[in-house]
Structure 1
């Protein structure tokens, strides 16, 4: 059901919108974890390292797609908040055209550059073949990733955060089943995990499409909604590209860091991979509140309610910091058993290295949560430049850390790179948000 975020208690609206989204994100993370668990337990440390070594490349492309579709959806949210349904449908039609074009270009570029980039990242020879096999299949499935994210972002922009959840649950269960069938029954190795991810995303996207066509008259498009208008398309690019590049710039920093990590060998890569999966699970509320604020701010800007944007950000900051403290406690208290989901208990060095990473992350989690709120609030009100620059600041911070800290303090330097990057982005985002809000007064 579509949900109007321009009236009612901001705290209640943020929570009721966020909870289904959070559950969906957790399920999405669970099926990502299922890949890692099944690969790590069934295929061993080297296979786990092979999948983990592709994380930066995957983030580079998939993050770009997520940012692009989220940016396009800001205009959908603004038109919905302004009760301009004709403009909303035009926005969806334009977004579809731009997504098709982007999918074709990105798929070709990704497949052509995957092997050179893996070599550039110092991927160890013993895992190179599996890493390339896994990431190429993920890149073949870019069309499925784009399709699902576009449908999910459109539904969330009109306030429906529940429907993507339901289909994501179905997708998560399907992914786990396919993982087991492809890896255990068909002996497909890491390729089986990759195909399971691609197929499950395709299914969730198709389900979202059929539901939307049946349920929402406001989203039933006609031929004229797909009429290309360069000025209107440029409005979408102006919001979508900075958000997409923000993810990609951040991902470049991750790639550089991955290159530094790869020099430590497959055991450290496996430890880092397992710890990152644990981290991603407990940090889902941060990303969830971020998506909520983008759509909340977009709808309220469209309705001319800047006062509600300010109040919503204040309430969201309080909520996200509470979740950050809880997440830090989970990492510190349960980091080791959670790591044990991914690797055999006999891998002592993997456990020790993973715990170092999780301890460092736990200390800095509040900065990450604040970063998401300010970044997405700015994007929701159409200010995309500083969120993009914040990604640049993250890139610079990660790059400096990658080239300096590991030589001084070893693996701990790798662990500190992310938190330092969060601080480098969160501070200018907070300053810019408050300056921007004053301009609206």
Structure 2
């Protein structure tokens, strides 16, 4: 059954939230892939394996962000064409973008297998953890093409107003992932390899199911022979939207990867604490990112339909929504930081919990900053100015990395310097993005 939503009509706030909620739930479910691995590994294998999975999570988030960025850019292209009611352009866009991103994904997989050892060294992973991390990554890389398949068709469906079906398929695969995680690690004693294999099985299921659903339920968007043309204007627009969005996503997550390297230099305890806390942190603020993506689809559809006044009102209502939402999430994370850490860490690891709580309360107090940044990313991508999202990310990343290195090197500040550098970067990028909008965009 189709669940398409037309974002060019009706109440803006209600339409945005009804469209965004499945995205939010879907991203939470997607994060559960690695969270379940973390919980199972932490409880049934040990701290060393937990640190390995945690560092792998940061690396995989960065690598996956490349594909997600390309798919988000394609989604913006399809949304604009959908708003303009150009079915032929949609089919040609699907053909061009699928070939492009599919090739990039295969090349990336080959590169990952060739460079797995240098990547582990780059992350400054302690020697006692490196072997476990390599074993985990070698298996997880096998599911990377299906990760592309799911994210590609999920974004195609969302671009034409269907955010419910991607959530449904992802939910099924997450449930299976939990089952296989426990079965392979606890019952079959496969260790860290079992956690990786469970994740790969789940990725294959969600990727294949969403492909079959799209082919069956959207025959008007199946690529035909006449759609397999290399339209230069469509290629240029797809390259611009996908390329800059990919760059923005990957640069943003590269900053996390660099921070992971600094964190690893503080030893296994801090490394394991960060591994757990960053997952909780990501799940806490990621709904704001999904709202920003929903807002992007809203703007892109209305941009294609030529409804500028609706876009302006959408900006106002979306900003209010995201500020209120992030303030509520901040309060929850700051108050519940310790119980949240204790979900994933066994009793007796008091120093590990202390470090994780410090991280969560530092980041959690500042979620409004990243919430506004996500809205800015979505807006600039949807109005064909994706390069500005890259500029904002570079500002945020540059501040984060520079301050993390400088502050953490001061003995009196230590690892807290890494934590505080992150929200400072968010707020500086917000200031630039809002300033640019008021100077250049509002009067156009």
What TM-score comes out, normalization by structure 1 length? Answer: 0.96
Partners of 1:177 and 1:283 in 2: CA distance: 27
1:35–1:193 CA contact under 8 A, matched in 2: yes
CA distance in 1, matches of 2:22, 2:259: 33
Instruction: Verify the 8 A CA contact 2:33 2:177 in the aligned structure 1.
Output: yes
Aligned counterparts of 2:155 and 2:220: Cα–Cα separation in 1: 15
- Corresponding residue for residue 240 of structure 1: 242
Sort the Cα spacing of 1:31 and 1:108 in 2 relative to 1 into closer, same or farther, 3 A: closer
Counterpart selection for 1:284 from 283, 286, 305: 286
Q: 1:433: which partner in 2?
A: 437
Equivalent in the alignment of 1:151: 153
1:79 to 59, 81, 104: 81
Alpha-carbon distance in structure 1 between the residues aligned to 2:162 and 2:214: 11
1:403 to 1:33, Cα distance in 2 relative to 1, 3 A: same
Separation in 2, partners of 1:286, 1:203 = 27
Q: 1:317 aligns to what?
A: 319
Partner residue in 2 for 1:343: 345
Alignment of 1:164 with 2:169, yes or no, is: no
Change (3 A) 1:436 1:206: farther
Q: Which moved more, 1:214-223 or 1:307-316?
A: 214-223
- Where does structure 1 lack aligned partners over 5 or more consecutive residues? none
- Please show how residues 186-265 of structure 1 align to structure 2 within 5 Å: 186-265=188-267
Cα deviation for residue 239 of structure 1 reads 0.6
Q: In the TM superposition, what whole-angstrom CA distance separates every residue of 1:375-422 from its partner, at most 9, and x where no partner exists?
A: 111101111111011222222112212321111211111212321221
CA deviation after TM superposition for structure 1 residue 296, in Å: 0.4
Report the counterpart of residue 269 of structure 1 in structure 2: 271
The answer as to 2:417 corresponding to 1:413 is: yes
Of residues 181-190 and 13-22 in structure 1, the stretch that sits farther from structure 2 once superposed is 181-190
Q: Post-superposition, which runs of at least 4 consecutive aligned residues in structure 1 deviate over 6 A?
A: none
Distance in 2 between the 1:379 and 1:19 partners?
A: 20
Structure 1 residue 231: deviation in Å? 4.0
Structure 1 residue aligned with 2:377: 375
Q: CA deviation at 1:59?
A: 2.3
Structure 2 unaligned regions, length at least 5: none
Q: Provide the rounded CA distance (Å) in 2 between the counterparts of 1:431 and 1:146.
A: 35
Aligned to 1:53: 55
Quote the offset at 1:433 in angstroms.
3.0
Secondary structure at the residue paired with 1:228? Answer: coil
Offset of 1:230 from its aligned partner? 4.2
Contact 1:256 / 1:402 at 8 angstroms: preserved in 2? Answer: no
CA offsets 1:44-81 (integer angstroms, 9 cap, x no match): 11111111122332122101110111001111000001
CA distance in 2, matches of 1:197, 1:339: 23
Q: Do the aligned residues in 2 keep the contact of 1:20 with 1:161 (CA within 8 Å)?
A: yes
Shifted more, 313-322 versus 18-27: the winner is: 18-27
- Asked whether the 8 Å contact 1:386–1:432 carries over to 2, the reply is no
Write the deviation string for residues 357-386 of structure 1: whole angstroms up to 9, x where unpaired: 011012211001000011111101111111
Of 420, 423, 429, 2:427 maps to 423
Compared with structure 1, are the counterparts of its residues 309 and 285 closer, same or farther at alpha carbon in structure 2 (3 Å cutoff)?
same
Q: Residues 285 and 320 of structure 1 are in contact (CA less than 8 Å); yes or no, is this contact kept in structure 2?
A: no
Aligned positions of 1:54-69 closer than 5 A: 54-69=56-71
Measure the CA separation in 2 of the matches of 1:189 and 1:11.
Answer: 47
Is the Cα–Cα contact under 8 Å of residues 26 and 281 in structure 1 kept in the other structure? yes
1:220 Cα deviation after fit: 2.2
Deviations 1:315-366 (A, max 9, x none): 1111111111111111122111111111102110111011100110122110
Aligned equivalents of 2:27, 2:375: Cα separation in 1: 16
1:353 to 352, 355, 358: 355
Return the TM-score normalized by structure 2.
Answer: 0.96
User: How far apart are 1:251 and its partner, in Å?
Assistant: 2.4
**Number of paired residues?**
440
Please report how far the alpha carbon of residue 242 of structure 1 lies from its aligned counterpart in structure 2 after TM superposition. 0.8
1:438 is displaced (CA, Å) by 2.4
- Using the TM superposition, give the Cα deviation of residue 439 of structure 1 relative to its aligned residue in structure 2, in angstroms: 5.1
Shift of 1:436: 4.6
Q: Note if contact 1:56-1:252 (Cα within 8 Å) is conserved in structure 2.
A: no
